[in-house]
Amino acid sequence: MSAAIDRMLDKRTAIRSGAVRSTAGPPVAATLLVCAVVVPAISGLSRANADDASVAAGPILFEGYPNAPEVFVVPRKDELFFYPCDQCHGAMEANPEIRKLDTAHHAEIDHGRGRIWCLSCHDLENRNFLKTLLDEPVDFDEAYIVCGGCHSSQHKDWVFGAHGKRVAAWQGERTQYNCAHCHDPHDPAIEARAPEPGPRARAGLELKTGTMHEASPVWGSHGTDSEK
Amino acid sequence: MTDDRGKCDEVRRNFLRGIGLSAAATVVQPAWGGQTLGDAFAGFFQKHYQQMSPEEVEAALERIERKAKARYGVDITCKDTPPLEGVVFGYAINISRCKGYRDCVHACVKENNLGRDSQVEYIRVLEMDQGTSNLEHSDHYYDPETVPQEGKYYLPIQCMQCDDPPCVKACPVEATWTERDGIVVVDYDWCIGCRYCMTACPYWARHFNWTDPEIPAEEINPDTHYLGNRPRERGVVEKCHFCIQRTRNGQQPACQEACPTGARIFGNLLDPDSEIRYVLANKQVFRLKEELGTEPKFWYFSD
Amino acid sequence: MAIIRFIFDGIREMLRGPREYWIALGVLLLVVAAGAWRYVEQVTTGLVVTGMSDQVSWGFYIANFAFLVGVAAASVLLVIPAYIFHRNDIKDVVLVGEGMAVAAVTMAILFVIVDLGRPDRLLHMLPIPGIGRLNWPVSLLAWDVIVLSGYILLNLAIPFYLLYSRYRGREANFRLYFPFVVISMFWAISIHTVTAFLFSANPARPFWHTALLGPRFIASAFASGPALIIITLQIIRKVSSYRISQSVIDTLALIMTISLQINLFFVGAELFTDFYNEGAHAASIHYLFLGLGGFNSLQPWIWFALALNVVAVVILMINPLRRQTRTLNIACVLAFVGIWIEKGMGLVIPGFVPTPLGEVFEYAPTGVELTVAAAVWAFGILLFILLAKVVIAIEQGRLRYPD
Q: Confidence band (pLDDT; 50, 70, 90) for A216?
A: low
List every span in chain B annotated with CATH 3.30.70.20. Answer: 89-301
Interface size between A and B, measured as CB pairs under 8 A: 126
- Name the average pLDDT for chain B: 90
Mean per-residue pLDDT for C156-168?
95
Matching CATH number, C2-395, of 3.10.180.10, 1.10.10.10, 1.20.1630.10, 2.60.40.420: 1.20.1630.10
pTM of the predicted model as reported, rounded to 2 decimal places: 0.89
* Predicted pLDDT of residue A19: 56
Question: Within 13 Å and on the Cβ side, how many CA atoms surround C123?
Answer: 11
Which positions in chain C touch B235 (Cβ < 8 Å)? 46-47, 116-118
* Predicted pLDDT of residue B125: 97
Q: Does A214 touch chain B (CB under 8 A)?
A: yes
Cβ contact A89:A95 at 8 Å: no
Flag if A164 and B146 touch (Cβ within 8 Å): no
The residue extents of the domains of chain C are 2-395
Q: Is the pLDDT of residue A38 over 50?
A: no
Using CB atoms, which chains have 3+ pairs under 8 A with A?
B, C
CA nearest neighbour of B188 among B157, B162, B220, B225: B225
Q: Is the pLDDT of residue B145 over 90?
A: yes
Flag if C48 and A203 touch (Cβ within 8 Å): yes
Cα separation, B70 vs B32, whole angstroms: 11
CA nearest neighbour of A147 among A173, A175, A184: A184
Q: Does A208 touch chain B (CB under 8 A)?
A: no
Cβ contact B217:B239 at 8 Å: no
Q: Which residue in the set C54, C135, C145 is minimally distant from B208, CB to CB?
A: C54
* Predicted pLDDT of residue B34: 61
CA nearest neighbour of B199 among C386, C348, C145: C348
Q: Does A212 touch chain C (CB under 8 A)?
A: yes
**Segment 38-67 of chain A within 8 Å of chain B by CB:** 67
Q: Is the pLDDT of residue A103 over 90?
A: no
Flag if B275 and A177 touch (Cβ within 8 Å): no
* Predicted pLDDT of residue A13: 46
* Predicted pLDDT of residue A108: 85
**Segment 324-353 of chain C within 8 Å of chain B by CB:** 351-352
Q: Is the pLDDT of residue A14 over 70?
A: no
pLDDT tens digits for range C49-100: 999 999 999 999 999 999 999 999 999 999 999 999 999 999 999 999 999 9
- Minimal CA separation from A216 to chain C, in Å: 15
Cα separation, C96 vs C74, whole angstroms: 12
- Minimal CA separation from C351 to chain B, in Å: 9
* Predicted pLDDT of residue B1: 43
- Minimal CA separation from A213 to chain C, in Å: 6
Cα separation, C308 vs C339, whole angstroms: 9
* Predicted pLDDT of residue A62: 87
* Predicted pLDDT of residue A54: 39
Domain hosting A32: range is 2-82+138-182
Mean per-residue pLDDT for B237-244?
97
* Predicted pLDDT of residue B25: 40
What are residue C71's phi and psi, to 5 degrees?
-60, -40
* Predicted pLDDT of residue A4: 57
* Predicted pLDDT of residue A217: 67
Q: Confidence band (pLDDT; 50, 70, 90) for A224?
A: low
Flag if A211 and C283 touch (Cβ within 8 Å): no
Q: Is the pLDDT of residue C219 over 70?
A: yes
Mean per-residue pLDDT for C184-189?
95
Q: Does A219 touch chain B (CB under 8 A)?
A: no
- Asked whether residue A112 is assigned to any structural domain, the reply reads no
Q: Does C119 touch chain B (CB under 8 A)?
A: yes
Which positions in chain A touch C354 (Cβ < 8 Å)? 211-212
Interface size between B and C, measured as CB pairs under 8 A: 151
Q: Which residue in the set A198, A212, A217 is minimally distant from B131, CB to CB?
A: A217
What are residue C367's phi and psi, to 5 degrees?
-60, -40
Flag if B236 and C118 touch (Cβ within 8 Å): yes
Q: Is the pLDDT of residue B27 over 60?
A: no
A205 vs A30, higher pLDDT: A205
Flag if B136 and C280 touch (Cβ within 8 Å): yes
Cα separation, B156 vs B280, whole angstroms: 18
- Minimal CA separation from B159 to chain A, in Å: 16
Cα separation, C154 vs C141, whole angstroms: 20
Cα separation, C198 vs C352, whole angstroms: 14
- Considering only alpha carbons, which residue of chain B is nearest residue A195? B101
* Predicted pLDDT of residue A43: 29
Q: Confidence band (pLDDT; 50, 70, 90) for B238?
A: very high
> What ipTM was reported for this prediction?
0.94
Reported CATH class of domain B89-301: alpha beta
- Considering only alpha carbons, which residue of chain C is nearest residue A207? C361
Cβ contact C46:B193 at 8 Å: no
Mean per-residue pLDDT for C323-348?
97
Q: Does A105 touch chain C (CB under 8 A)?
A: no
Helix (H, G, I), strand (E, B) or coil at A193: strand
Which positions in chain A touch C360 (Cβ < 8 Å)? 209-212
Q: Is the pLDDT of residue A41 over 50?
A: no
Q: Is the pLDDT of residue C165 over 80?
A: yes
Q: Is the pLDDT of residue C361 over 50?
A: yes
- Asked whether residue A153 is assigned to any structural domain, the reply reads yes
Using CB atoms, which chains have 3+ pairs under 8 A with B?
A, C
pLDDT tens digits for range B76-125: 999 999 999 999 999 999 999 999 999 999 999 999 999 987 679 999 99
Q: Where are the alpha helices (DSSP H) in A90-151?
A: 118-121, 144-150
- Name the average pLDDT for chain C: 95
Which positions in chain C touch B190 (Cβ < 8 Å)? 121, 124, 133
Mean per-residue pLDDT for C227-231?
97
- Asked whether residue A221 is assigned to any structural domain, the reply reads no
- Considering only alpha carbons, which residue of chain A is nearest residue B250? A169
pLDDT tens digits for range B148-191: 999 999 999 999 999 999 999 999 999 999 999 999 999 999 99
CA nearest neighbour of C349 among C58, C8, C38, C22: C58
* Predicted pLDDT of residue A83: 84
Flag if A182 and B283 touch (Cβ within 8 Å): no
pLDDT tens digits for range A50-95: 334 434 456 778 888 998 999 999 998 888 888 888 888 888 888 8
Q: Does A152 touch chain B (CB under 8 A)?
A: no
* Predicted pLDDT of residue A11: 55
Q: Which residue in the set B137, B146, B271 is minimally distant from A215, CB to CB?
A: B137
pLDDT tens digits for range C257-278: 999 999 999 999 999 999 999 9
* Predicted pLDDT of residue B10: 53
* Predicted pLDDT of residue B119: 75
- Asked whether residue A199 is assigned to any structural domain, the reply reads no
**Segment 206-265 of chain C within 8 Å of chain B by CB:** none
Percent of chain A having pLDDT more than 90?
Answer: 38
The letter for the amino acid at C9 is D
Cβ contact A40:A30 at 8 Å: no
Helix or strand run (H / E) with residue B130 = none
Flag if A202 and C295 touch (Cβ within 8 Å): no
- Minimal CA separation from C228 to chain B, in Å: 29
Q: Is the pLDDT of residue B208 over 70?
A: yes
Mean per-residue pLDDT for B241-258?
97
Q: Is the pLDDT of residue C175 over 50?
A: yes
Least confident among B130-134, B170-174, C7-11, C220-224: B130-134
> Rg for chain A (alpha carbons), in Å?
23
Q: Does C57 touch chain A (CB under 8 A)?
A: no
A127 vs A158, higher pLDDT: A158
Flag if B144 and A182 touch (Cβ within 8 Å): no
Among A200, A207, A212, most C C-beta atoms within 10 A, so best to mutate, is A212
Flag if C121 and B190 touch (Cβ within 8 Å): yes
Percent of chain B having pLDDT more than 70?
Answer: 88
Q: Is the pLDDT of residue B250 over 70?
A: yes
Flag if C46 and B190 touch (Cβ within 8 Å): no
- Considering only alpha carbons, which residue of chain A is nearest residue C49? A204
pLDDT tens digits for range C16-39: 999 999 999 999 999 999 999 999
Task: Spell C261-291 as b/e; 16+ CB within 10 A means b.
Answer: bbbbebbeebeeebeeeeeeebbbbbbbbee
Q: Does C54 touch chain A (CB under 8 A)?
A: yes
- Asked whether residue A206 is assigned to any structural domain, the reply reads no
Helix or strand run (H / E) with residue B225 = strand B223-225
* Predicted pLDDT of residue C313: 97
What are residue A58's phi and psi, to 5 degrees?
-95, 180
Flag if B209 and C135 touch (Cβ within 8 Å): no
pLDDT tens digits for range C47-56: 999 999 999 9
pLDDT tens digits for range C375-390: 999 999 999 999 999 9
* Predicted pLDDT of residue A194: 96
* Predicted pLDDT of residue A101: 83
User: Angle A51-A56-A57 (CA atoms, 0-180°, nearest 5)?
Assistant: 70
Contacts of residue A228, defined as CB under 8 A and 6 or more positions apart, other chains included, come to none
CA nearest neighbour of C311 among C287, C289, C335: C335
Q: Is the pLDDT of residue B14 over 70?
A: no
- Considering only alpha carbons, which residue of chain A is nearest residue C359? A211
* Predicted pLDDT of residue B202: 98
Helix (H, G, I), strand (E, B) or coil at B68: helix
Q: Is the pLDDT of residue A48 over 70?
A: no
Flag if A212 and C294 touch (Cβ within 8 Å): no
